[in-house]
């Protein structure tokens, strides 16, 4: 993944977090990965950078 791709994924993760904001359970990396279609490892890395 390039830097620009990572930024795009981070942006998408923020969108997903907004969509799931009203849900009663905490989002996991697996949820984010499933919603964004990225691998769990890259999703986890992007979350750590936020």
Q: What digits encode the pLDDT tens for the residues 32-46?
A: 777 777 665 665 666
- Domain locations along the chain: 3-49
Average pLDDT by stretches of 10, the chain with 50 residues: 65 72 64 68 65
CB atoms within 10 A of CB 32: 21
Q: What is the pTM of this model?
A: 0.28
Which helix (DSSP H) or strand (DSSP E) does residue 8 occupy? helix 3-19
- Out of 1.10.10, 1.10.287, 3.40.190, 1.20.1530, the CATH code matching 3-49 is 1.10.10
């Amino acid at each position: 993944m390039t830097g620009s791709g990572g930024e795009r994924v981070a942006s998408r993760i923020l969108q997903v977090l907004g969509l799931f904001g009203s849900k009663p359970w905490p989002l996991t990396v697996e949820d984010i990965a499933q919603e964004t279609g990225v691998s769990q490892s890259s999703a986890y890395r992007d979350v750590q950078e936020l």
